[in-house]
Amino acid sequence: MIRTLGLTKRFGRITAVDAVDLDVREGDVYGFLGANGSGKTTTVRMLLGLVLATSGRMEVLGEQMPGAGRRVLPQVGALVEGPAAYPHLSGRRNLALFDAMGRGTERRTRRARVAEALERVGLDGVDDRPVHAYSLGMRQRLGLAGALLQGPRLLVLDEPTNGLDPQGIHEIRTLLLELNAAGTTVFLSSHLLAEIEQLCTRVGVLDRGRLVVQDQLSALQGLTGRVEVHTPDVARVRQLLNGVVEHADGERLLVRDADPAALNARLVGAGVRVRELVPERRRLEDVVLAATSASADRFGSDRGADGHRAHGEAEVLER
Ligand SMILES: Nc1ncnc2c1ncn2[C@@H]1O[C@H](COP(=O)(O)OP(=O)(O)OP(=O)(O)O)[C@@H](O)[C@H]1O
């Protein structure tokens, strides 16, 4: 759905986007993650033909961009930072104008299209208020409604939950998952790890303009080769598994063992009361922080208890 090769954008001496190779596949909910200033918005703007690339190639829906923009963009719903609207007009009126500007949109069905888009984003009850009376969250929803008008094959959203309260974030997340289940590919940028983790199937991470990670979320959250065991019989487990208990925190132990079933059988066989036993998975946060060391603090979290680098693969990709 989106492929770029060596996509680069320079603003004078600043390289905002540096040789990025994006690979967004049909059916993905692709999370484009990066700290503030890492180049997300600039990339999104290039994909939509709003900014010209300095160098590199881009394909959207299988066609070369920006050349094929007239054919491609009507099939792409977009929400880029700070959606614009006429403040003195209602949300409904704004959407009708927006729809009228779209290519080949049928006038006869406009009213129904606008009503459906307003309903989808939960604005149908307040649609006659002028937009200047909208909260930031309502404006964001209106922008999203605009992106949905044409029933797009691909949605490109720059920080779609910006300014929304937790309830609003939950509603947008549900909406995006519904749209995706109905066949829409979603590409969204965010600086929020938790948002990406809850929503996305595939993840790309930008660090100072460079794509340092790109993989399926499930692969990034791969097994660590450790098993987390919760038990009141901590001393007994330590005695039984001499040397492979790597970490203990109260009744929670981390055991170096790649076979949870065998471990469980051994512990239970020895009379240990096992409350919970799960294979440990890498956290997206650790993968991202390992790959973006210089900007770690900008994601607003620490490196974890032992400060370790989580994953060799991410280190290879690191500059
Ligand atoms: N029009 C411009 N002129 C000069 N520099 C720019 C321009 N647009 C962006 N930049 C610079 O390019 C870099 C990347 O900016 P960009 O807005 O793409 O990042 P971002 O990841 O979207 O950040 P944010 O989350 O804060 O929106 C920044 O250093 C920014 O200052």
Does a structural domain hold residue 300? Answer: no
Tell me the pLDDT band of 199, cut-offs 50, 70 and 90.
Answer: very high
41 lines ligand 1 (CB under 6 A): yes
Residues 140 and 265 occupy one common structural domain: no
The share of the chain scoring above pLDDT 70, in percent, equals 90
Residues 213 and 234 occupy one common structural domain: no
Distance 66 CA to ligand 1 centre (A): 20
Residues 146 and 160 occupy one common structural domain: yes
Question: How many domains would you assign to the chain?
Answer: 2
CATH code of the domain in which 255 resides: 3.30.70
Residues 274 and 247 occupy one common structural domain: yes
What is the reported pLDDT for 77?
92
What is the reported pLDDT for 294?
57
Q: How far apart are CA 112 and CA 7, in angstroms?
A: 39
Atom number, ligand 1, closest to the C-alpha of residue 38 = 21
Does a structural domain hold residue 48? Answer: yes
Bridging pattern class, strands 223-230 and 55-60 = unpaired
Residues 123 and 170 occupy one common structural domain: yes
Whether the predicted pLDDT of 317 surpasses 50: no
Does a structural domain hold residue 296? Answer: no
Residues 230 and 265 occupy one common structural domain: yes
Residues 40 and 147 occupy one common structural domain: yes
Domain extent, residue 145, equals 2-219
ipTM field: 0.95
Whether the predicted pLDDT of 314 surpasses 60: no
Residues 188 and 135 occupy one common structural domain: yes
Residues 118 and 252 occupy one common structural domain: no
Does a structural domain hold residue 125? Answer: yes
What is the reported pLDDT for 83?
67
Residues 44 and 104 occupy one common structural domain: yes
Q: How far apart are CA 31 and CA 156, in angstroms?
A: 10
Report H helices in the chain. Answer: 40-47, 69-72, 91-101, 110-120, 136-148, 166-181, 193-199, 217-220, 234-240, 260-269, 284-291, 312-317
Whether the predicted pLDDT of 19 surpasses 70: yes
Residues 141 and 186 occupy one common structural domain: yes
Distance 150 CA to ligand 1 centre (A): 29
Whether 193 and 138 have beta carbons less than 8 Å apart is answered as no
Q: What is the pLDDT of residues 169-191, one digit of tens each?
A: 888 888 899 899 989 999 999 98
Whether the predicted pLDDT of 154 surpasses 90: yes
94 lines ligand 1 (CB under 6 A): no
Does a structural domain hold residue 318? Answer: no
Does a structural domain hold residue 291? Answer: no
69 lines ligand 1 (CB under 6 A): no
Residues 80 and 55 occupy one common structural domain: yes
Under DSSP, is residue 75 helix (H, G, I), strand (E, B) or coil? helix
Does a structural domain hold residue 260? Answer: yes
Atom number, ligand 1, closest to the C-alpha of residue 39 = 18
What is the reported pLDDT for 319?
31
